Amino acid sequence: MSIKASASKLIRVHHPGEALKEKLEEMGMSIKEFAIRATKPEKTIIAVINGKSSVTSEMAVSFESVTKIPASFWLRNQALFDEYLVRLKREEDAKASIEWMRQFPYAEMVKRGWIEAVKTPEEKVRNLFEFFGVSTEKAWADYYLNQQLKVAFRISLASTKDPHAMSVWLRQGELQAQKEGLNTTFDEKALKAMLQTMKQLMVDEPDDFFLQLKALCRACGVILIATPTLPKAPISGATRWIRDTPVIQLSGRYKGYDYLWFNFFHEVGHILLHGKKEIFLENAGLTNQDQTKENEADTFASDVLLSRTHEHEFLRNSTFTEKVILDAAKKYNTHPSILVGRLKHLGIMKYWQGQALSKNVDICS
pLDDT in tens, the chain (365 residues): 455 544 456 788 999 999 999 999 999 999 999 999 999 999 999 999 999 999 999 999 999 999 999 999 999 999 999 999 998 888 888 899 999 999 999 999 999 999 999 999 999 999 999 999 998 999 999 888 886 445 445 567 877 888 999 999 999 999 999 999 988 899 999 999 999 999 999 999 999 999 999 999 999 999 999 999 998 888 899 999 988 899 999 998 888 999 999 999 999 999 999 988 778 888 766 666 678 889 999 999 999 999 999 999 999 998 999 999 999 999 999 999 999 999 999 999 998 888 899 889 999 87
Closest CA to 115 of 99, 97, 125, 127: 127
- Report residue 243 CA to chain centroid gap: 13
Report the distance separating Cα 39 and Cα 35, nearest Å.
6
State whether residue 258 is helix, strand or coil: helix
Q: Check residue 154 and give its pLDDT.
A: 58
Q: Check residue 234 and give its pLDDT.
A: 84
Q: Check residue 148 and give its pLDDT.
A: 46
Question: Alpha-carbon torsion 330, 331, 333, 337, what sign?
Answer: negative
Q: Check residue 124 and give its pLDDT.
A: 95
CB 266 within 8 A of CB 301: yes
Report the distance separating Cα 224 and Cα 250, nearest Å.
8
Backbone angles phi, psi at 364, to 5 degrees: -105, 5
Q: With 0-12 CB in 10 A as exposed, 13-18 as middle and 19+ as buried, what is 154?
A: middle
Q: With 0-12 CB in 10 A as exposed, 13-18 as middle and 19+ as buried, what is 142?
A: middle
CA angle 110/224/275 to nearest 5° reads: 120
As a whole number of Å, the CA-based R_g of the chain is 30
Beta bridge partners of 310: none
Which are the contacts of 179, defined by CB distance < 8 A and separation ≥ 6? none
Q: Check residue 125 and give its pLDDT.
A: 95
Question: Alpha-carbon torsion 78, 82, 88, 90, what sign?
Answer: negative
Q: Which amino acid is at 319?
A: T
